Amino acid sequence: MTEEIKMQFSDKIIKLTAEAERELRPQFDEFDRIAYVNTARVLEAFSAHRVSEAMFAPSTGYGYGDIGRDALDAIYADVFGAEAAFVRHNIVNGTQAIAIGLFGLLRPGDVMLSVTGKPYDTLNEVIGADIKNGDGSLADFGIKYDDVNLLPGGGIDYAGIEKKTAEYGDSIKVIFIQRSKGYMNRPTLAASEIGEIIKFVKARCRASVAVDNCYGEFCDEAEPTAYGADLIMGSLIKNPGGGMAECGGYIAGTKRAVELASYRQTTVGIGTECGATIGQNRNMFKGFFYAPHTVAQAKKTAALAAYIFDKLGYPVEPAWSDERHDIIQTVRLGTPEGLCAFCRGIQSGSPVDAYVTPEPWDMPGYADKVIMAAGTFVSGASIELSADGPLRPPYTAFFQGGLTYESGKYAIMTAADMIISGK
């Protein structure tokens, strides 16, 4: 570090960061290995589908014959080990992508069973589990929801799943799995672990398996579709957009499941054959190319945060030495003040709006006030460095992303210094 930079941080944080980087070298090497495997798969798909400059051209109107859109759909399918996929800039977030998939697969009288406990906050309104009827939720259409809570420690309750599948029988049409922790303090599932769940439930019912894949793409060597998931869904301003996609989402899976989902994205009979790309193709292709490397950068940033804050005495999950199956790192600050200080530290170390002081606010789709640090080039992009958390015990910061390890390191050091100094 130059003397100028050294002056911005305490000696304690400088020494702790240097120690962390020495200890984390084996983990960093493994993240790079996985990034190479996934990059090779992306490059092979680009070559197989003859990606060319012409595919970046914008389409308008109905979008008939958009060769870039169709090629990107095929590339996502190949890389994710799926039969089909569609990628669209006008899917507004991961929640909408999941909703499209669920409304595509479920019909009145069907049962949706979540086997990873209660889903992420914003999905509860889609399901209609916690709100009054009338807004067009799944519940409004006569679709029943139930769940199996995770075991203490975050393990899958296979006995509970067996009981529920026997109880509902063939009425279960969707088994839902949330890969990442969301706003829960539980381990993220590896793609291979999801594969074991799929084997278990497919032996007991004929339901489709739908996976909320947000935050997990390219963290493992394969996606849940390669292990038998019928549908995976995610957001382009998270992992697969690589920091380049300005908006959008994707759905991938079996040909029939993707077809049914596409009818909810557009309409029956049209599916994926329409949809103007209006100049978004280039960034979506470029982002997918960058994604394996960018995800590795984010994982390195998360591991560094885990090490530093663990040594400062804060509970973290995963531990700095653990395998990582998504880009999220939790730091349990214990108090509202601690959570706010952490987020303000990350904001002040961000490239955009570093001068802004984040404050808790009533965010749409959340029961509690949420504080969010998001000094990002794309608004709300989780693959860029951000930190957020609901103001409820145990006051946990959910830290994710980082387009470059170097910028993530700077922000973490800034946050750590602010906390230990009481600023």
Please, what is the Cα angle at 363 between 390 and 379, to 5 degrees? 100
- Domain identity same for 316 and 357: yes
The confidence score (pLDDT) of residue 368 equals 86
The confidence score (pLDDT) of residue 131 equals 62
pLDDT digits (tens, 9 = 90+) for 280-338: 999 999 999 999 999 999 999 999 999 999 999 999 999 999 999 999 999 999 999 99
Residue 1 has pLDDT above 70, yes or no: no
- Domain identity same for 76 and 214: yes
pLDDT digits (tens, 9 = 90+) for 344-390: 999 999 999 999 999 998 877 677 899 999 899 999 899 999 999 89
How far is residue 253 from each of residues 127, 181, 209, 382, 411, measured CA to CA in Å? 21, 22, 10, 23, 37
Please, what is the Cα angle at 71 between 65 and 73, to 5 degrees? 105
Over residues 158-163, mean pLDDT: 98
- Domain identity same for 14 and 90: no
**Residue length of the chain:** 423
Q: With pLDDT > 70 as the criterion, what percentage of the chain qualifies?
A: 97
> Rounded mean pLDDT of the chain?
94
Q: Where does a domain end: 279, 311, 339?
A: 279
Over residues 166-192, mean pLDDT: 93
3-state secondary structure at position 374: coil
CATH classification of the domain holding 16:
3.90.1150.60
Q: Kindly give the interhelix angle for 11-23 and 25-48, rounded to the nearest 10 degrees.
A: 60
| pLDDT level of residue 133 (50, 70, 90 thresholds) | low
pLDDT digits (tens, 9 = 90+) for 193-214: 999 999 999 999 999 999 999 9
Instruction: Tell whether 233 is covered by a domain.
Output: yes
d(CA 82, CA 253): 5
Q: What is the CA radius of gyration of the chain?
A: 21
Q: Where does a domain end: 279, 308, 339?
A: 279
- Domain identity same for 230 and 87: yes
Instruction: Tell whether 48 is covered by a domain.
Output: no
3-state secondary structure at position 279: coil
- Domain identity same for 28 and 64: no
How far is residue 381 from each of residues 92, 235, 247, measured CA to CA in Å? 12, 9, 9
pLDDT digits (tens, 9 = 90+) for 394-415: 999 999 999 999 999 999 999 9
- Domain identity same for 226 and 139: yes
The confidence score (pLDDT) of residue 7 equals 55
- Domain identity same for 30 and 116: no
- Domain identity same for 132 and 230: yes
Instruction: Tell whether 284 is covered by a domain.
Output: no
CB atoms within 10 A of CB 202: 15
Number of domains, the chain: 2
Amino acid at 407: S
φ/ψ of residue 244, rounded to 5? -105, -40
Residue 245 is classified by DSSP as -
pLDDT digits (tens, 9 = 90+) for 375-388: 999 998 999 999 99
d(CA 242, CA 383): 7
- Domain identity same for 296 and 275: no
φ/ψ of residue 252, rounded to 5? -140, 150
Domain that holds residue 383: 3-39+289-421
CATH classification of the domain holding 196:
3.40.640.10
- Domain identity same for 382 and 411: yes
Against a cut of 0.85, is the pTM above it? Answer: yes
Residue 74 has pLDDT above 80, yes or no: yes
Q: Where does a domain end: 229, 255, 279?
A: 279
- Domain identity same for 26 and 159: no
- Domain identity same for 207 and 227: yes
